[in-house]
Structure 1
Amino acid sequence: MKNENPIGFFDSGIGGITIWKEFDKILPHENTIYLADSRNAPYGQKTPEEIIFLSEKNTEYLLNRNSKMVVVACNTATTNAIDYLREKYKVPFIGIEPAIKPAALNSKTGKIGVLATKGTLTSKLFHKAVKSYNNVEIIDQIGFGLVPLIEAGKIDSEEIKSLLKEYLSVMVQQDIDYLVLGCTHYPFLTDLIKTMIPDHIQIIDSGIPVAKHGKLLLERCGLLNSQKTTGIKEFYINADETVLKSLISNKENYIIQRMNF
């Protein structure tokens, strides 16, 4: 496998851009391909079988484009399909899980909140992670309706504010001091969330630690791109590309395209 080959990313839509941006900050010379399966969003309301099927389809697309590593930039796809993908394919995989560990290790109140999709919160992998941190009480909350609104670009809408107020109040009332964003779409709401929760509650997402882990894995596998120029960044979406374009700086080495897949 060539070091110049791209890193592949896929998500149930535009949410994984929050992960891609952290990778691009620390690995700007890497070529990347991002696949936004917005037509099938949200994955969080689908069955495990459906999630595995879609994850396999996305992976096949990225591997056919010679991806040297696949980042499953979706919490729901990771918690439901990552084990299957690792067994079937030989390339390195990076998964995204709710960042429970740092919250559990640093909580002073002994209570942390996790805002995530139904698909993540009901997965075996999530329940396994929860059992590993029995020193804290985890208050989980399904973010019904948030992903479709984010996909539609309604990040500051009254509708999304109303939903967030409802979901966050449940956790705040139970004295959490950490809020874990367990969906890659949700970091787009961080600024809005900060206006709705007390200042002492810290918000955590997976972007930076996952990108650092990705870099270490590339180094360990001898797959880092040695080129000194900025990598080519390709983005493909199977729905309207307007919101995706608004989230990405349109530079000369960027390709943003709507496709059927």
Structure 2
Amino acid sequence: MPHSRPIGIFDSGIGGLSVAAKVRELLPADDILYVADSRHAPYGDKSDDFILERMNTVTDFLLGQGAKAVVVACNTATTSAIAQLRTTWSVPIIGVEPGVKPAVLATRSGVVGVLATPRTLQTHSFSALAARFSSTVSIAVQPCPDLVGQIEALRFDDDRTLELLHRYILPLLEKGADTIVLGCTHYNYLAERIALVAGPDVQIVSTESAVAREVVRRLKCEGLLADSDSIGTEAFHTSGEVAVFGRQIECLWGAVKAVYPL
């Protein structure tokens, strides 16, 4: 039956686990099937065509495993190619966009900063998103080409990561940003450190909670929610090294029975 099928969630790596964790909080009865396309991470330096090919490959796998919906828990993939993905597959497909709108509502200085991968900032989708608010606020963007690699390596506190955070955040502060959007799900794992660098007067905006609420809304509309008395399970797959992903999962999610190759 549809309600017993898993929710498929994927990202280029571990960033989407932050979204999966919020989905788990709101939907404790639903099964979750997570895929990290780690062999091809990061997506932030890949072409749209390559990203779409990977999105189709992973979505085909998730649907082959019975997924009732697919969450593209990656800003780069969402802004690059989610429209094409939705024309190919008929299941609900939920994406992740940088939280520019809530940041615009929150800013007092009128300057919103955005941290994202280079590819996200180059997409037509992001340009259109930013243009919607360009008459209201100034949007300062900062590509962060090296940050995902540090997060994938679980180097949250080493000197290189802190150096990169200062390099990427200080230009936004110099432009007057009092609100900073985390435009990559990986960055959620550095939210506290980003807040420390930015200072107490700067609000950090992420979207994983909003995405999880949208997953609930879509599944409810489609009649796909699991029975409330069920106990949800999780399964984790990776296109990269299973042992490495296993260590990442243990650090960010907790102990799991197994991690599987894609």
Q: TM-score range by the shorter chain?
A: over 0.9
Name the counterpart of 1:2: 2
Name the counterpart of 1:244: 249
1:63–1:255 CA distance, 2 compared to 1 (3 A): farther
Name the counterpart of 1:143: 144
Gaps of 5+ in 1: none
Alignment of 1:1-261 (within 5 A): 2-134=2-134, 135-237=136-238, 238-239=240-241, 240-241=244-245, 242-250=247-255, 254-259=256-261, 261=262
Deviates more, 1:5-14 or 1:192-201: 192-201
| Counterparts of 1:145 and 1:245, CA distance in 2 | 23
In the TM superposition, residue 144 of structure 1 has moved relative to its aligned partner by 1.4
| Counterparts of 1:11 and 1:119, CA distance in 2 | 15
> SS in structure 2 opposite 1:3?
helix
> SS in structure 1 opposite 2:185?
coil
Give per-residue Cα distances to partners, 1:52-111, cap 9 Å, x unaligned.
111111111101001000000000010111101100000000000000001112211110
> SS in structure 2 opposite 1:196?
helix
> SS in structure 1 opposite 2:254?
coil
> SS in structure 1 opposite 2:5?
coil
In the TM superposition, residue 255 of structure 1 has moved relative to its aligned partner by 4.1
In the TM superposition, residue 244 of structure 1 has moved relative to its aligned partner by 2.2
Gaps of 5+ in 2: none
User: Residue 210 of structure 2 aligns to which amino acid in structure 1?
Assistant: P
Identity %: 37
| Counterparts of 2:260 and 2:33, CA distance in 1 | 13
Give per-residue Cα distances to partners, 1:94-152, cap 9 Å, x unaligned.
00000000111221111000000011110111011011112111100011111111111
> SS in structure 1 opposite 2:4?
coil
User: Residue 99 of structure 2 aligns to which amino acid in structure 1?
Assistant: A
User: Residue 257 of structure 1 aligns to which amino acid in structure 2?
Assistant: V
- Cα pair 1:149 1:160 within 8 Å, conserved: yes
| Counterparts of 1:13 and 1:106, CA distance in 2 | 30
In the TM superposition, residue 256 of structure 1 has moved relative to its aligned partner by 3.5
RMSD: 1.1
> SS in structure 1 opposite 2:52?
helix
| Counterparts of 1:216 and 1:55, CA distance in 2 | 23
> SS in structure 2 opposite 1:195?
helix
- Cα pair 2:195 2:203 within 8 Å, conserved: no
| Counterparts of 2:102 and 2:139, CA distance in 1 | 13
- Cα pair 1:96 1:206 within 8 Å, conserved: yes
Using the size of structure 2 for normalisation, the TM-score is: 0.96
Give per-residue Cα distances to partners, 1:162-182, cap 9 Å, x unaligned.
011000000011111110000
| Counterparts of 1:74 and 1:152, CA distance in 2 | 18
| Counterparts of 1:227 and 1:174, CA distance in 2 | 48
| Counterparts of 1:258 and 1:7, CA distance in 2 | 17
Flag the structure with higher helix content: 2
> SS in structure 1 opposite 2:229?
coil
1:202–1:81 CA distance, 2 compared to 1 (3 A): same
| Counterparts of 2:257 and 2:11, CA distance in 1 | 17
